[in-house]
Structure 1
């Protein structure tokens, strides 16, 4: 569970679409306040998903080979396949973009007129929900009778938010320097967004498929 959650958290924090939107939000007038709202909503989603799963399982992992355990592995497999399929579909239409991306870009591009509430809404809408779903299926195996499980779950939420936190703190402590860095980051992402999205989805998807198949067959 630990390695799976850390890899999923890393993929979430590096996912280009929310990073691009956050750069625009935090770089706009009043961006620190809007960025904080974005992050608060983002973290609330992650914590809410983790909490819901823990409440469902009672903090005790299902017995191996039991129906709930098998269902969680099948869900992980489905999310893995979904990520690979999504990545492959994007690969086939590289250069054309997607309608969803256009909506996201338009919403984020309104950063100058975006309120804190709108920024919070973006923090919810731009979650990579396929990856978050895979994390939820993994959290089913958490055993809260051990303190290390609390540490792992907290580390997952922190890791999944780390890129946003770094940008937010940078704008608080050194806004001019951070602003220049973020403008460069946005330019790089505009040029390399598709390969990054495809690579993250396919690599994580293949990992989840391999792990779930091995455990189902074991």
Structure 2
């Protein structure tokens, strides 16, 4: 469980779409406060999903061959296959020279971007509530769902489980936390670099999404098949 959670959290934290959205938020008016609200809403989603799963399982993993245990592995297998197929689909579109923009993906909705966004990055994108809503919108729900199926294996009678769950939430938020601290302690430099990073991600987000989907999807698929047939 621990390794799966760490891999999923790593995939979440390097997902380019939330980083692009966060860079726009913290570069706007009252960006520090909006960034904080964005992070709190982001964390709230992760904690809520974990809490729901632990409530359903009562903090105890289902027996390996029980119907709930098999259903959890089947769900993880479906998510893994979905990520693989989507990664291959996205790769075909990218190779055809027509990558999708502004559409929903397993990693979250695409963040509209372009030169006009970068040059007008200090325009206020909305209120604090809008920043919180954006955090929920760009949450990579496909990856969060993969994390939820992994949390089914959590045993809350062990202290190490809480450490693993905390590590999952922290690592999944690490890139956002780093950007927030950067904008707090070096606002001018951070703004310029975050905008350059956002511009670079706009040109490479398709490749990143394909890699994340294929690597994580193959891992979840292979492990699920092994556990179902082992």
Aligned length, in residue pairs: 216
Alignment of 1:72-91 (within 5 A): 72-91=72-91
Q: TM-score, normalised by structure 1?
A: 0.94
Residues 13-162 of structure 1 aligned to structure 2 (within 5 Å): 13-94=13-94, 95-100=98-103, 104-105=111-112, 109=117, 112-162=124-174
Q: Distance in 2 between matches of 1:87 and 1:39?
A: 27
Partner of 1:112, secondary structure, is coil
Deviation of 1:96 after TM superposition, in Å, equals 3.4
Work out whether 1:167 is the aligned partner of 2:179.
Answer: yes
Q: CA deviation at 1:99?
A: 3.8
SS in 2 for 1:93: helix
Structure 2 match to 1:4: 4
Structure 2 regions of 5+ residues with no counterpart?
Answer: none
- CA RMSD, aligned part only? 1.6
Query: Given the superposition, is the C-alpha separation of residues 136 and 103 from structure 1 closer, same or farther in structure 2, using an over 3 Å criterion?
Result: closer
TM-score (norm 2): 0.90
Higher helix share: 1
> Aligned partners of 2:181 and 2:163: how far apart in 1?
23
Q: CA deviation at 1:113?
A: 3.2
Do residues 216 (structure 1) and 228 (structure 2) align?
Answer: yes
